[in-house]
Structure 1
């Protein structure tokens, strides 16, 4: 089995409901849930003129390879009504692969670990809640160390 950490985020519609539905669908289609963070609210990152986001991180085991896992995540997004218009824009649901085992992939449509993981508190705070000692396979810091080094000024608050 493979280990995958996914970031779920939403800021349109009913974000909390969207996170719950996405998690349920991911557990049904990707694999067994091992842990989940609380839900955190943060200001938007990248494109700031939009509603606040709710985010959480889930840790699953899966029999699928990273490409199949990505395809399932995108299918869940599509099923829940995600429309891809603007990078970092508002969305019904967003699912990012943060880590997949300790693999490193740098492909046009799949980058693992997530290339912005270490730059965004809204990712690191929930990740540290469930995997503080996990090690970034490229940067070689723990998730906790990455959070301490993160210069992202946005507030992230557990709801």
Structure 2
């Protein structure tokens, strides 16, 4: 399964913290795996502190949340892009550094989820056929200028 997030319109209206962001998600389901978006990653609400936005997948209410439904007790491989550099689309001068962080748990208990910190992890689906994952991010705006920043976050999920 490949999940594609498109971040459109990261536009700083004030040089320090105001921005506009749209996130959309799509999923292709294969091998009886289903992924449901429960909550989108919220990059608008968190405050920018010292040029950064930090959203923990384990502790932040701004983290994206997804439920994977598949064969009970099966193991799946989750692969995702850990970091990328976003360049301002019009002038190409401004830069946002993005680092993505994920965690997973068999139950819907975010604070008990385990960090998936290497960009690829093998995790079991729970006894009830469910696995919950949370998506966080660290965004560095220190070199950002007002403008449009585009990104695609790709998450691959497959049975092993």
* TM-score, normalised relative to structure 1: 0.31
Comparing both chains, which one has the higher relative contact order based on Cα–Cα distances under 8 Å and sequence gaps of 6 or more? 2
Q: Which structure: larger Rg?
A: 2
